[in-house]
Amino acid sequence: MSSAEQERLHATAVAVKGCAALLIGPSGSGKSSLALQLLSLGAKLVADDQCLLSSENDALMVARPDTLPELIEARGFGLLKVPMATAASVRLVVDLAEVTDARIPEDEAMSFLGHQVKMIKKSQSAHFPAAVLLYLQSISAT
pLDDT at 117: 97
Integer Cα distance of 43 and 38 in angstroms: 5
7-51 tens-digit pLDDT: 999 999 999 999 999 999 999 899 999 999 999 999 999 999 999
Sign of CA dihedral 5, 67, 122, 87: positive
Sign of CA dihedral 33, 38, 41, 45: negative
Integer Cα distance of 14 and 8 in angstroms: 16
- Return left, alpha or beta for 57; rule: phi > 0 is left, psi -120 to 50 is alpha, else beta: left
Task: Tell me the pairing of strands 6-16 and 50-56.
Answer: antiparallel
65-100 tens-digit pLDDT: 999 999 999 988 999 999 999 999 999 999 999 998
Instruction: For residue 2, name the pLDDT band (cuts at 50, 70, 90).
Output: very low
Asked whether the whole model's pTM tops 0.85, one would answer yes
Nearest to 93 by CA among 74, 118, 68: 118
Q: Of all residues in the chain, what percent carry a pLDDT higher than 90? A: 82
